[in-house]
Structure 1
Amino acid sequence: MVLEDIKEGNKRIKWKDRVPLAYWKGNPHVDPSRRDLLKCNLTREQNWDTLLYVQDWDKEAKEGYKQSNLEDQCTHRFYDFFIRGMIPLQHFWPINDQSKCSSLKFAVQWGNNNTIQAEAIGEEGSKYLQENLKMELVYDYMYHLLNEYSKLLKFRPTVPPGAVELTPETMTGAVEGLHKKFLEDSLEKSPSEREPCDLPPYDRTVLDELREKKLNALNQVQTWEKEYWENQSKANNN
């Protein structure tokens, strides 16, 4: 349901009409990197071409999450998803974690000066999200993960004394509102009509090629970024 909402939200505003700034909205208190990101927000002294917002989930919960619908946030050009299978410059634009602010600034400038390529990256990222985060694929992943993990166990698992079985009723009984609705929406009411996808055999070559492709893309962006700031420095000194 959420994926469909995001897909529809993407259609509301054309890429060329979206806010040409880097956009992020979330909880900065769960990770030091997120707190560091807020240093890149707009100030009187510095403009990194960013719009960064702190998400107050307690407040959102009380107000029915009216300001946090994902489909309503498709008004900006630049947002990212961190998924292992995504390729820099194909599905997303990478940001240097060691120099977030200047890296974000360059990303926005590059995107605004290369709108066709930037839009293509955004479309590929959205397409990847729609095709690879379907719930049936998530369940396939969980199935294979648990099966592979079970092969590593050195003991036979048993139910410990006093254990309480979790059921749909016990999981949803203590919650209300949208929290309960989301839990109920994710409930599988019957077995799947298809078999789980086949887990491909381990192939080191495929993994090495993927790593090399990512590394080459990251190096390309770093080269572009270095050249951009060198040119900016020369222009400011002239």
Structure 2
Amino acid sequence: MLTGRGTQLWQLPDKTFSNVTYPRCRTGMLAYMHRYKIYIEGSAWSVSEKYILACNSLTLIVKPRYYDFFTRGLMPVHHYWPIREDDKCRSIKFAVDWGNSHKQKAQAIANTASNFIQEDLKMEYVYDYMFHLLNEYAELLTYKPTKPKKAVEICLESMVCPARGLEKKFMVESMVKAPKESSPCTLPPPFDPVTLQVWLRRKQNSVRQVEIWEKGAWERQNTKL
């Protein structure tokens, strides 16, 4: 897919794409030297989506089958560029052509995604989400959980001490050092049906618009041939 005429445009370093401090973006040059990054699932859910979105590259997301807890808050052409699942190669080629022709708009999308991960997905917010989620699960339990007799407690030291290098550094940085002084955030109420439909329709329209642009581009190219 990345071989053939003009492939030098697929992975050009761009000095205007700033390096961010999200951990996975610092683990290697490949994380921030490319103008575009592709997110595509394998045979199951992938953990890499948030790391890719954080790295200030325009993220090309192949339509996913699995969702992370934050995925539904992403808006196509605002946080990422949608890629067709049934025609990936041509869809990616069009996305790259569009990004090379609209560098400022592509950079704006990349920055919006990175800011979303850096600000809205701070670990303190993730911990708040986990708190609410586990409490919701607890209310659904029909039994009282008990600790198995052979259970072994895992302490911080047993996890951090064997780690080395950047892995250890990032584990220490994300470690909870003390109880929060404030209560967890209050979850907003669920969308009402009308607001939810408006949000979903906006996402669908954004994807449909990209598909229309793609179709027009390939029709014009076939006409020239």
The verdict on how the C-alpha distance between 1:211 and 1:230 changes in structure 2, with shifts beyond 3 A counting, is: same
Which sections of structure 2, spanning at least 5 residues, go unmatched? 13-24, 37-56, 62-70
Could you tell me which of 45, 50, 54 is aligned with 2:10?
50
**What are the superposed Cα offsets for residues 100-137 of structure 1, whole Å, 9 maximum, x if unpaired?**
11111111111222233223222222221221121111
Q: Indicate the residue corresponding to 2:203 in structure 1.
A: 214
Asked if the contact 2:94–2:214 (Cα under 8 Å) also holds between the matched residues in 1, the reply is yes
**What are the superposed Cα offsets for residues 9-61 of structure 1, whole Å, 9 maximum, x if unpaired?**
xxxxxxxxxxxxxxxxxxxxxxxxxxxxxxx21x2468495349xxxxxxxxx
Partner letter of residue 138 of structure 1?
A: V
**Equivalent residues in 2 for 1:56-71 (5 A)?**
68=28
Number of residue equivalences = 183
Partner SS state of residue 205, structure 2: helix
Could you tell me which of 80, 98, 101 is aligned with 2:59?
80
Partner letter of residue 186 of structure 1?
A: S
> What's the offset of the Cα at 1:147?
1.1
Partner SS state of residue 80, structure 1: strand
Distance, in Å, in 2 between the alignment partners of 1:210 and 1:170 is 44
Asked if the contact 2:58–2:107 (Cα under 8 Å) also holds between the matched residues in 1, the reply is no
**Equivalent residues in 2 for 1:1-238 (5 A)?**
40-41=1-2, 43-44=3-4, 47=7, 49-51=9-11, 68=28, 73-76=32-35, 78-80=57-59, 83-205=71-193, 206-236=195-225
The verdict on how the C-alpha distance between 1:229 and 1:49 changes in structure 2, with shifts beyond 3 A counting, is: farther
The structure in which a higher percent of residues are helix is 1
> What's the offset of the Cα at 1:69?
5.3
TM-score, reference length from structure 1:
0.68
The verdict on how the C-alpha distance between 1:160 and 1:69 changes in structure 2, with shifts beyond 3 A counting, is: farther
Which sections of structure 1, spanning at least 5 residues, go unmatched? 1-39, 53-64
Asked if the contact 2:60–2:80 (Cα under 8 Å) also holds between the matched residues in 1, the reply is yes
> What's the offset of the Cα at 1:74?
5.0
Q: Indicate the residue corresponding to 1:17 in structure 2.
A: none
TM-score, reference length from structure 2:
0.71
The verdict on how the C-alpha distance between 1:68 and 1:194 changes in structure 2, with shifts beyond 3 A counting, is: same
The verdict on how the C-alpha distance between 1:149 and 1:67 changes in structure 2, with shifts beyond 3 A counting, is: closer
The verdict on how the C-alpha distance between 1:148 and 1:119 changes in structure 2, with shifts beyond 3 A counting, is: same
> What's the offset of the Cα at 1:169?
1.4
Comparing 80-89 with 96-105, greater Cα deviation is found at: 80-89
Structure with larger RCO (C-alpha < 8 A, sep 6+): 1
Partner SS state of residue 87, structure 2: helix
Q: Indicate the residue corresponding to 2:44 in structure 1.
A: none
